[in-house]
Amino acid sequence: MINAEVNDKTHQLTGSETITYYNNAPESLKFLWLQLDQNLLADQSIMNQTNTGTVKDSIPAAFFTTATGVMVTDYKGGYAIKSVKDAAGKSLSYIINNTMMRIDLPSPLKTGEKFSFSIDWSYTEYDRQVYDGRGGYEFFPEDGNYVYTFAQWFPRMCVYDDYEGWQNKQFLGQGEFALTFGNYSVKITVPADHIVGATGTIQNAKTVLTKEQLERFEKAKKSFEAPVFIVTEKEAREKEKTKSDKKATWEFYAENVRDFAFATSRKFIWDAQAVKLGDKTPLAQSLYPKEANPLWERESTKAIRNALELYSERTFEYPYPVAYSIHSAHQGMEYPMICFNGERPKKDGSYSKQTLYDLVAVVIHEVGHNFFPMIVNSDERQWSWMDEGLNTFLEKETVRLRYPELFGTHGTPKGIAPFMKGEKNQMRPIMTSSDNVRPGEFGPNAYAKPSAALTILRETVMGPEIFDKAFKEYAQRWAFKHPAPADFFRSMEDASAVDLDWFWRGWFYTTDNVDVDMAEVKWFKLQSESVEPEKKKLKVKRGDLKSETTGAKGNANDFSDGPEQFSLINTPEYLQGEFKSRVDDNAIRQKLDGKNIYQIKFKNVGGLITPLVIEWTFKDGSKEIERIPAEVWRLNEDVITKVFIKDREVVNILLDPNFELADVEMRNNVFPKKTTPSKFDQFKSNN
């Protein structure tokens, strides 16, 4: 239970919260840990003390904030904790260690018992233009109004679990949150002309909405085709001109959520529509200032709907009653039932295809976070990829299926290949603690690389049908629980009968890349006219006839030398063993007669084990794609040789023709080596 009040003049947020904590652990607890995330922006915070940077010849003034760990502005962040009391009003002893607060309990809290306590606090919200962050406010000089997005705004419980006890790793800015589930009843007091959106459903719509707004709100709950405007742009523009001195208190309730966030402004336009998901009809809602139009009124709520539908199909039905998308500049941040998204059109209202994509992608992504990590509640402080990677994968799938005209390479194998080609010794594996990934590599490491890896699993290693079933199983098994990485790895194998140990090891625990070199191609034909089946002792002479006249084979770069010929001798008696019947040597000879036999040597240069996707182009111009599972490397991870039999003569062999393996070097993927296939040209020109 929280009561909070926003001061629109000083930007101070004052709160008073009561937490009832249930000890569901098998052991008793002597103390509780809470997270004081706002202390990240306190003087001498652990982030400022440990962020590193350099001074160059000329440096943008804005860098002297949190980016370099040197803050020279007047803003004073961090919590003022006024009191920490038990249910009887007696002060509790506590200690603050940077972004964590330990509350000592009067007596150990036994298994199954609960403990109620309250905290009174305040802090001043920051200007996100100066302090890039997940919340803050945006100021609009033209009309003198603010859009507030409040995030990590109240002291929040740490997770206590059977995996590591208290998860109280300090907040350093990059590694996000580890949070426990709870029910929230929150009253937010704001200027009376504000519109508030939050985690949860509005409990007092009749009090805070006008009669007309209330009617529109009810209508939106039954509108499945298009959004209904609860506050129009015209009405919002009108409200910008005055500033109410009155206050209004909005009440929200949310059940089984890991966090609570809210946004408030008198600038908000508000549209909403219902989304049909099985027997649930969550309300998709967007709040945005006029500066976001016309892009937002066209695309935001639609993107919420697309995300909810596709994610529900691939995981579980979205269980919450509402899903908000809020606009304020330069954001992309997620909370249960609500997210904050940037991307706005130019001043004249026009926008590029890139801006359209960026908006659609960010709304899908942040709404998608409801599934990972808001419900499948992984530890973000430790493993960013567990929510960002899985979520980027489904974001990419939603864009691919719902916005094919906007679909690009983000989160795909083709998109990640240039990153994977980088210096292996300097990169860090996906399985790296969130704050230990260099900021410049955070995007690929936590988002795009795991998404590309999952795409390879779906499209190439497992196949869509098995992958989708396994992925869904993981999501359903770990919904409203705290999965660790191995829980994901195990579930994917358990539900699919695909051995993926090699895949997790290579893609998640190393910085190796996929680079297969098609090092050698040999072409053979059976020399049928020289075979004398009756001569039982005839030995095989590999490539005997042709090689004598054309010199050493195997170093050839093309097929111009023609096939090497080889002979088939009769199966020797000792190979027949104790069987009374005999192998029909002539029948085998006849099967191979006239066939083209290709022997390919594959070298694993990049280190990652990979399936092989081979495109054969025949003399008549037709093509065939052949897929070889990764188990082909099981006896030798460095080099393998494999034989293929083709009816027709081959003129070109290409590895990874559709860029589905993330092979970082396409030049060694083709035979004949001299010519360059058109797809390689495409790949080069696209990268």
Query: Which residues sit at the interface with Zn ion, rule CB under 5 A?
Result: 388
Q: Identify which of residues 389 and 563 has a Cβ nearer to Zn ion in the complex.
A: 389
Rg (CA), the chain: 31
CB 592 within 8 A of CB 567: no
CA angle 326, 327, 331 (to 5 degrees): 100
Q: Which is nearer to Zn ion, 217 or 340 (CB)?
A: 340
| Nearer CB in complex with Zn ion: 433/668 | 433
What angle in degrees, to the nearest 10, is found between the helix axes of 295-314 and 464-478? Answer: 90
Q: Which is nearer to Zn ion, 77 or 133 (CB)?
A: 133
Q: How far is the CB of 511 from Zn ion (least distance, A)?
A: 22
* Cβ 182 to Zn ion shortest distance, Å: 22
Element (H, E) at 615: strand 612-618
Distance between CA atoms of residues 69 and 332, nearest Å: 23
Closest to Zn ion by CB, 248 vs 303, is 303
Helices then strands, counting H and E runs in the chain, come out as: 17, 31
Question: What stretch of H or E contains 160?
Answer: strand 159-161
CA atoms within 13 Å, Cβ hemisphere of 581: 3
Report, in Å, the least distance between residue 365 CB and Zn ion: 5
Q: Cβ 413 to Zn ion, closest distance in Å?
A: 20
Within 13 Å and on the Cβ side, how many CA atoms surround 615? 19
CB of 361 to Zn ion, least distance (A): 11
DSSP state of 572: P
CB of 139 to Zn ion, least distance (A): 26
Q: Is 566 helix (H, G, I), strand (E, B) or coil?
A: strand
Cβ of residue 620: shortest distance to Zn ion, in angstroms?
Answer: 49
Determine the Cα–Cα distance for residues 138 and 272; give it in Å rounded to an integer: 23
Q: How far is the CB of 411 from Zn ion (least distance, A)?
A: 12
Angstrom distance (rounded) from CA 95 to CA 103: 7
Q: How far is the CB of 221 from Zn ion (least distance, A)?
A: 28
CB-wise, 388 or 517, nearer to Zn ion? 388
Which CB atom, from 251 or from 380, has the smaller least distance to Zn ion? Answer: 380
- The residues near 209 (Cβ < 8 Å, ≥ 6 apart) are 217, 230
Q: Characterize 537-565 residue by residue with b for buried, 16 or more Cβ atoms within 10 angstroms of its Cβ, and e for exposed.
A: eeeeeebeebbeeeeebeebeebeeebbb
Q: How far is the CB of 369 from Zn ion (least distance, A)?
A: 6
Both tokens of residue 542? 């590999």
Q: Which residue lies nearest Zn ion, judged by its C-beta?
A: 388
Q: Rounded to the nearest whole angstrom, what is the least distance from the CB of residue 447 to Zn ion in the complex?
A: 7
Output the DSSP codes for 351-412: --HHHHHHHHHHHHHHHHTIIIIIIB---TTT-THHHHHHHHHHHHHHHHHH-GGG--STTS
* Partner residues linked to 270 by β-bridges: 231, 287
What's the rounded Cα separation, in Å, for the pair 405 and 357? 9
Nearer to Zn ion, 388 or 512 (CB): 388
Which residue lies nearer to Zn ion by CB, 233 or 388?
A: 388
The DSSP 8-state label assigned to residue 489 in this structure reads H
Which residue's CB is nearer to Zn ion, number 388 or number 515?
388
Closer residue to Zn ion (CB): 251 or 388: 388
